[in-house]
DNA sequence: CTGTTAGCGCTTTCAA
DNA sequence: TTGAAAGCGCTAACAG
């Protein structure tokens, strides 16, 4: 039924070892022999069995990717960066959605490890003690992607979320705004939630603006929650003149909410966010945002993982990618 | 270093076979023995090696997924449907982007087959003879996802793209429009391109409207190409009063182009599309669209694949999922 | 209910 | 430059 390396060996009149060498591009094979083997392979339609190879060589050329939700544009972009680089280095990726749920994350990490992945890319919610524990029992390298661990022991690739938020709010402040609302993610989320909120507070503080908790609403990163948060702000007796959103999608919700209310962006209210997904230029007015290089985060973390898997020494196991402000049309003077 | 089933057997004072039974939930094990084994597993921190298991059992509980581009929202949604169901049936997925490029597709199909996936989900451009050939040499089931093959030999899950387009254009016609532009995908793309274009033409014909090739522009599914196409229409001496776009994203580009031009949607020009991605409700006016159930296409195709992998007999190997019109605000009277 | 024993298809010394 | 042979860690008859 299935053609094995042994069949090829017999057909070509050589040993299994020789066929193996040919298949693996080992130079120690006489060209003539190589040719014979290739012909036999062709004739028999031989297809190497990667599972058997994996068992014998203890390498699967497969890496595991734990992702919150592939249907989220932001993560999908990271995934694409990962896959492109993986592909370049001849790795395949096993993708697992874990929805930032700790239990699910731990479960898939173990499954992935059972499948003998050569490395693991983890993109999730908080990295708890339990996560670290699971990582420790893996004897393959792990890279955190778009997250970091508190104690900074695990290699990671991310942006500085706090600074990104700080910079975004600074843009608003520079335009003269002093009443600045924030649509935040859950504070349980260390990167997209908590850190960005901290950046917001620090920017306010630096500018000598007092923090008003009435001006902070927690959303769930989705469009609708941006709409809801904005609705709340608009009904405030003294509503903010600018809003900082933790994500593009909520920002777009906010913009539409403002427009539906009969006000204009940025004339009446300015809006800025962090992300700069493709959607940012797909709204009117186009969204000014701090760009988070999602594709690069994926690509760089995969590249880092390849180095780790090859046991190359890496100087910077904690890489912080730069973010930048992309000025479009949603921010104006106070 | 690594603890194997043999180590567990020794530790528990039983044979490998018994450990294997315990690990695989085989009922033929005395509860007491089972307990002993579990304790040994716990004590040693044993983690079954899925690669060895795969080699011995000839099953990897892994399926391959060939996808055009995971960073495209539409496909990401399908992927999520696939993964959710895969997960439910204890399969993992190896994800490969192939950008609808034939060579790349063939290449990843072979890699996936080498990795001994238990089944394959193919989402791509055209299914050529070469594809069929590659599928034939696989001795695992294949399901086409959001595509179909011409001769209809391969199981598949998709919507009726021609009918979806027909229905969309009908909506416009019913509102009295007779001058209807189309922003199409490339006609090389059988499903999203050609079929939708055919549906457009048939709707026109059915309504007795003559086809005018000036009113058809080919885009690349992206926002910008929607803008460009619409710009072209707006400059026409006699511009259309309604536009049918093959995808949401191009439709949104068209809407913004119309608005930037100083006209209103739907008062001046109506816009409808096929997709109904989350973005459809993230524009003003919200987009009326024919909904393509992407998540379901993924879920159903994965479900179908599980049946095929279990060698269950399936009555309908060609499933056509229903589409529906989601009326929002972008379509009005002529 | 449990153990013995062949493999699964390949890589990798080691020797020639 | 090539071959022989010993595993890799597990499953799956088969026997008891």
> pLDDT tens digits for B221-249?
999 999 999 999 999 999 999 999 999 99
- C1’ D4 / CA A10, Å: 15
Q: Taking CB atoms and an 8 Å cut-off, how many pairs form between chains A and B?
A: 136
Q: How confident is the model at residue B315 (pLDDT cuts 50, 70, 90)?
A: confident
Find the mean pLDDT for residues A308-334.
94
pLDDT, position B148 = 87
Q: Which class for A321: exposed (0-12), middle (13-18), buried (19 or more C-beta within 10 A)?
A: middle
State which residue of chain B sits closest to A251, comparing Cα positions: B282
A163: part of which helix (H) or strand (E)? helix A161-174
Q: At what angle do helices B16-23 and B31-44 cross, to 10 degrees?
A: 90
Residue of B50, B51, B262 to mutate, interface with A, max A Cβ within 10 Å: B51
pLDDT, position B173 = 98
Indicate the pairing of strand A324-326 with strand A288-291: antiparallel
Backbone angles phi, psi at B310, to 5 degrees: -85, 5
Please enumerate in sequence order all residues whose Cβ is within 8 A of that of B288, keeping only pairs 6 or more positions apart, or say none.
B171, B271, B272, B325, B326, B327, B328, B329, B330, B331
State which residue of chain B sits closest to A281, comparing Cα positions: B223
B190 touches chain A (CB under 8 A): no
Residue B1 has pLDDT above 80, yes or no: no
pLDDT, position A152 = 84
Indicate the pairing of strand B318-321 with strand A142-145: unpaired
Nucleotides of D under 7 A from a protein CB: 1-13
- Secondary structure of residue B169 in the 3-state scheme: helix
> Per CA to C1' distance, which residue is closest to D2?
A18
For residue range A135-150, what is the model confidence (pLDDT) as tens digits?
999 999 999 999 988 8
pLDDT, position A129 = 92
> Per CA to C1' distance, which residue is closest to D9?
B52
Residue B284 has pLDDT above 80, yes or no: yes
Q: What mean pLDDT value characterizes chain B?
A: 95
Closest approach of A205 to chain B, Cα-based (Å) = 34
Q: How confident is the model at residue B149 (pLDDT cuts 50, 70, 90)?
A: confident
Separation in Å, CA A256 to CA A263, A326, B274: 10, 20, 23
pLDDT, position A315 = 86
Residue B272 has pLDDT above 90, yes or no: yes
The widest CA-to-CA distance across chain B, in whole angstroms, is 88
pLDDT, position B264 = 96
Query: Out of A48, A70, A253, whose CB is closest to B114?
Result: A48
Among the listed residues B216, B164, B168, B165, the one whose alpha carbon sits nearest the alpha carbon of residue B331: B168
Tokens 């769930």 belong to A220
Residue of A60, A71, A93, A97 to mutate, interface with B, max B Cβ within 10 Å: A71
pLDDT, position B150 = 81
- C1’ C16 / CA A5, Å: 23
Residues in B 261-290 with any Cβ partner in A closer than 8 A: 278-279, 281-284
Residue A195 has pLDDT above 90, yes or no: yes
Against a cut of 0.85, is the pTM above it? Answer: yes
Contact across the interface for B51 and A49, Cβ inside 8 Å: no
Strands (E), A126-201: 142-145, 156-159, 180-184
Looking at residue A286, the DSSP 8-state letter turns out to be P
């Amino acid at each position: 039924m299935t053609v094995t390396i042994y069949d090829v060996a017999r057909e070509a009149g050589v040993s299994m070892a020789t066929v193996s060498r040919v298949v693996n591009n080992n130079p120690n094979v006489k060209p003539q022999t190589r040719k014979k083997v290739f012909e036999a392979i062709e004739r028999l339609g031989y297809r190497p069995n990667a599972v058997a190879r994996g068992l014998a060589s203890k390498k699967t050329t497969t890496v595991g990717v734990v992702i919150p939700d592939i249907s989220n544009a932001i993560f999908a972009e990271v995934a694409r960066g990962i896959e492109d680089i993986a592909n370049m280095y001849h790795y395949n990726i096993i993708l697992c959605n874990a929805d930032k749920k700790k239990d699910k994350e731990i479960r898939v990490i173990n499954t992935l490890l059972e499948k003998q992945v050569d490395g693991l890319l983890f993109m999730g919610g908080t990295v708890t003690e339990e996560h670290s524990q699971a990582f420790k029992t893996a004897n393959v390298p792990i890279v955190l992607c778009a997250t970091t661990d508190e104690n900074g022991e695990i290699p990671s690739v991310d942006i500085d979320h706090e600074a990104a938020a700080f910079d975004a709010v600074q843009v608003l402040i520079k335009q003269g705004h002093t009443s600045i609302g924030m649509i935040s993610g859950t504070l349980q989320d260390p990167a997209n939630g908590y850190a960005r909120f901290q950046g917001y507070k620090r920017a306010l503080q630096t500018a000598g603006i007092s923090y008003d908790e009435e001006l902070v609403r927690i959303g769930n990163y989705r469009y609708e929650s941006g709409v809801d948060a904005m609705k709340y702000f608009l009904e405030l007796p003294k509503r903010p003149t600018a809003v900082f959103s933790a994500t593009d999608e909520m920002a777009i919700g906010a913009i539409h909410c403002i427009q539906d209310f009969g006000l204009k962006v940025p004339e009446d209210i300015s809006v800025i966010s962090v992300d700069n997904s493709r959607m940012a230029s797909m709204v009117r007015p186009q969204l000014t945002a701090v760009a988070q290089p999602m594709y690069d985060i994926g690509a760089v973390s995969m590249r880092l993982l390849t180095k780790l898997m090859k046991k190359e020494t890496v100087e910077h196991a904690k890489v912080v990618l730069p973010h930048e402000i992309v000025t479009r049309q949603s921010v104006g003077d106070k």
